[in-house]
């Protein structure tokens, strides 16, 4: 049976899933025989961080030793803050979830019939599956969507933005949404899963698409849910750095296949920063590139990715998407030095959940990048995020069906209101610049306080309208505040959070997760 895309917003359903990336679609599949599932996405299906994931999906398909090495690598990259239970779940259930993908027709790349495996930073062995060379997320998204469409009960609602959760006491009962005509609607549900992805748009430089505005996290915060580890934003080391060109992701798999990094003098420099050189953990490489790019007079020096020496690999065939994008700008991996610099890529923090996706409010769940199980600690291991979406999306679906028995739905209501003010794009740019300059890769108290006061000024000018750009701006503002507050409170350096004024790890005080909620004035730190 083919699921239809609804033309009208329903007033009631059993399960609402916010987001149609890997976590949302996998959860929808898991819930499809438990009731009506409404998957809501802000733009057309396929427009999510999942679709832009290039390098691959890390998974230990080689038995017990492989699984325990994957666990060790995940914990090492996370710099002392990985939640062990969550990481065990990830690596142990990963192979089963990837087997399902294979059964559902995901076309991972093969050589002589065998799955091809590559390596990325901080992995001790080759364990990363990829698809169509450098389009892994898009292929996984395609196959999940095809599978979801074939299941009864799943309705996919495009061009609809989720606005706020409906809360009664400490229980979530549904949410309000904005349709593409800027009309507000209320949807009642047995449970809501936030699988709305990340918030890269809070920074001026990001690999994330325009839809990544942290909506789910901001909504959960406003509703009173606990939010955790927001100071940990991962900056991908190698986004394309050309004036006037978006910060296009240049996959870590390029370095996995032998790319070097060179500074303005043409020197390889990673040996000064880490024994794993170009395949060091992402936070180390990103900071090294930033430092090499700082000229003595405050000017920015170029840093390049170099694959000209790589032999025995057809770079255009292995990286077709990257090659095509570079060709539009007159660059060729096998011939040219490619200018790079870091860009905001992945939020390790998010809605605080347990390993089954339960948030701190009843009937609210989160999975994927919007959630924080602690699985990535302070720095995510490359290519663990697609696996995270699959594993924790599936687990959330399991508990949602068990825990949220059909409730007597409240009286049907359909609230429709006209929207008003438009958001201001200059305010958005001001916010993104303030975050990039003062709450980015290298932080200190003075910069973070400057970011905080700029956010305060911006707050006074935030538009109050219920149109998409105003809502997104308000959500990004909330995300910015959560990042800055948590970053100020963590007076140490760990993983992706680096403080120039506290350059060392302080395990005694901070080997803990930060937690914030609307009802608490200060950041709390808690152990696993
Ligand atoms: C990449 O291809 O470098 C991105 C993969 C990831 O973020 O894990």
Q: What is the mean pLDDT of the chain?
A: 93
pLDDT band at 8 (very low <50, low <70, confident <90, very high): low
| 129 Cα to the center of ligand 1, angstroms | 12
Residues whose beta carbon lies within 6 Å of some atom of ligand 1: 53-55, 251-253, 345-346, 382-383, 385
Q: What is the 275 CA–ligand 1 centroid distance (Å)?
A: 21
Instruction: Report helix, strand or coil for 344.
Output: strand
Span from the CA of 225 to the centroid of ligand 1 (angstroms): 29
Atom of ligand 1 nearest to the CA of 345: 7
| DSSP helix/strand/coil, 370 | helix
Question: DSSP class of residue 12?
Answer: B
Q: Do the Cβ atoms of 306 and 282 come closer than 8 Å?
A: no
Q: Give 12's pLDDT tier (boundaries 50, 70, 90).
A: very high
Q: What distance in angstroms lies between residue 53's CA and the mean position of ligand 1's atoms?
A: 6
Pocket test for ligand 1, best of 21, 48, 236, 347 (most atoms within 8 A of CB): 236
Ligand 1 atom nearest residue 346's Cα? 7
Question: How distant is the alpha carbon of residue 355 from its chain centre?
Answer: 17
Q: Cα separations (Å) of 375 from 80, 85, 207, 357, 371?
A: 11, 8, 22, 12, 10
Average pLDDT over residues 8-32: 94
Which percentage of the chain shows pLDDT scores above 90? 89
Instruction: Give the span between the Cα atoms of 339 and 331, in whole angstroms.
Output: 10
- Identify the structural domains of the chain with CATH numbers, from first to last: 15-228+348-400 (3.50.50.60), 237-343 (3.90.700.10), 414-523 (1.20.58.100)
Instruction: Report residue 76 as tokens.
Output: 């090492």
SS3 assignment, position 143: helix
Ligand 1 mutation pick, 120, 281, 347, 390, max ligand atoms within 8 A of CB: 120
Question: What is the model's pLDDT at position 418?
Answer: 40
Give, using CA atoms, the residue closest to atom 8 of ligand 1. 383
CA 233 from chain centre, in angstroms, equals 9
How far apart are the CA of 165 and the centre of ligand 1, in A? Answer: 31
Q: How far apart are CA 20 and CA 195, in angstroms?
A: 7
Task: Give the residue numbers annotated as catalytic, written as ranges.
Answer: 282
pLDDT of residue 416: 40
pLDDT recorded at residue 19: 97
Most ligand 1 atoms within 8 A of CB, residue of 51, 135, 251 to mutate: 251
- Residues in CB range of 222: below 8 A, 6 or more apart: 164, 165, 478, 518
Matching residue, tokens 């049976």: 1
Q: How far apart are CA 279 and CA 281, in angstroms?
A: 7
Task: Answer whether 98's CB lies under 8 Å from 59's CB.
Answer: yes
pLDDT tens digits for range 68-89? 999 999 999 999 999 999 999 9
CA distance 367 to 353: 8
Lowest mean pLDDT among 181-185, 329-333, 340-344: 181-185
Tell me the average pLDDT across 122-142: 95
Residue nearest to atom 6 of ligand 1 (CA): 383
pLDDT band at 406 (very low <50, low <70, confident <90, very high): low
| Atom 2 (ligand 1) nearest CA | 55
- The residue-averaged pLDDT of 411-425 equals 45
Beta bridge partners of 58: 128
Closest approach atom of ligand 1 to CA 238: 3
Categorize the per-residue pLDDT at 468 as very low, low, confident or very high, splitting at 50, 70 and 90: very high
Query: From the CA of 386, how far away is ligand 1's center (Å)?
Result: 9
More confident residue, 423 or 294: 294
List, as own/partner pairs, every contact residues 327-334 make where C-beta atoms lie below 8 angstroms and the sequence separation is at least 24, other chains included: 329/240, 329/242, 329/245, 333/254, 333/307, 334/307, 334/308, 334/310
């Amino acid at each position: 049976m083919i699921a239809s895309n609804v033309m009208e917003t329903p007033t009631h359903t059993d399960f609402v899933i916010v987001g149609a990336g890997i976590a949302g679609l996998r959860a929808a599949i898991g819930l499809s025989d438990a009731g009506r599932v409404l998957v809501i996405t802000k733009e057309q299906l396929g427009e999510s961080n999942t679709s832009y994931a290039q390098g691959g999906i890390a998974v230990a398909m080689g038995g017990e030793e492989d699984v325990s090495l994957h666990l060790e690598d995940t914990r090492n990259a996370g710099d002392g803050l990985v939640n062990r239970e969550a990481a065990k779940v990830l690596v142990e259930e990963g192979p089963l979830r990837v087997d399902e993908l294979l059964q559902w027709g995901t076309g991972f790349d093969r050589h002589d019939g065998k799955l091809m495996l590559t390596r990325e930073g901080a992995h001790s062995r080759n364990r990363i599956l990829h698809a169509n060379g450098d389009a892994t997320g898009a292929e996984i998204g395609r196959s999940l969507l095809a599978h979801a469409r074939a299941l009864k009960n799943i309705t996919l609602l495009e061009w609809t933005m989720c606005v706020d959760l409906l809360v009664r006491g400490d229980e979530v009962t549904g949410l309000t949404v904005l349709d593409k005509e800027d009309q507000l609607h209320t949807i009642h549900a047995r449970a809501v899963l936030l699988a709305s992805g990340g918030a890269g748009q809070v920074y001026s430089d990001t690999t994330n698409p325009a839809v990544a505005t942290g909506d789910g996290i901001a909504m959960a915060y406003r509703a009173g849910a606990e939010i955790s580890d927001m100071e940990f934003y991962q900056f991908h080391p190698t986004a394309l750095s050309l004036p006037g060109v978006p910060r296009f992701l240049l996959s870590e798999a390029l370095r996995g296949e032998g790319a070097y990094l060179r500074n303005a003098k043409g020197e390889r420099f990673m040996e000064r920063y880490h024994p794993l050189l170009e395949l060091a953990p992402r936070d180390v490489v990103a900071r090294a590139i930033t430092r090499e790019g700082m000229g003595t007079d405050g000017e920015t020096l170029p840093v390049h990715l170099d694959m000209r020496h790589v032999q025995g690999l057809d770079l255009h065939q292995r990286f077709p998407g990257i090659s095509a994008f570079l060709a539009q700008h007159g660059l060729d991996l096998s011939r040219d030095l490619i200018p790079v610099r870091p860009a905001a890529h992945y939020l390790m923090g998010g809605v605080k959940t347990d390993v089954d996706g339960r948030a701190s409010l009843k009937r609210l769940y989160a999975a994927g990048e919007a959630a924080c199980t602690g699985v990535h600690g302070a720095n995510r291991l490359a290519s663990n995020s697609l696996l995270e979406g699959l594993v924790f999306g599936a687990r959330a679906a399991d508990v949602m069906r068990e825990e949220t028995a059909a409730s007597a739905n409240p009286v049907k209501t359909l609230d429709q209101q006209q929207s008003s003010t438009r958001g201001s794009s200059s305010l958005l740019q001001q916010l993104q610049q303030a975050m990039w300059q003062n709450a980015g890769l290298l932080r200190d108290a003075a910069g973070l306080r400057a970011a905080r006061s700029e956010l305060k000024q911006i707050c006074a000018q935030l538009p109050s309208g219920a149109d998409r750009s105003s809502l997104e701006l308000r959500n990004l503002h909330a995300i910015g505040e959560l990042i800055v507050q948590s970053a100020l409170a963590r007076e140490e350096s760990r993983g992706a959070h680096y403080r120039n004024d506290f350059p060392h790890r302080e395990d005694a005080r901070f080997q803990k997760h930060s937690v914030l909620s609307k009802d608490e004035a200060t950041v709390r730190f808690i152990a696993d």
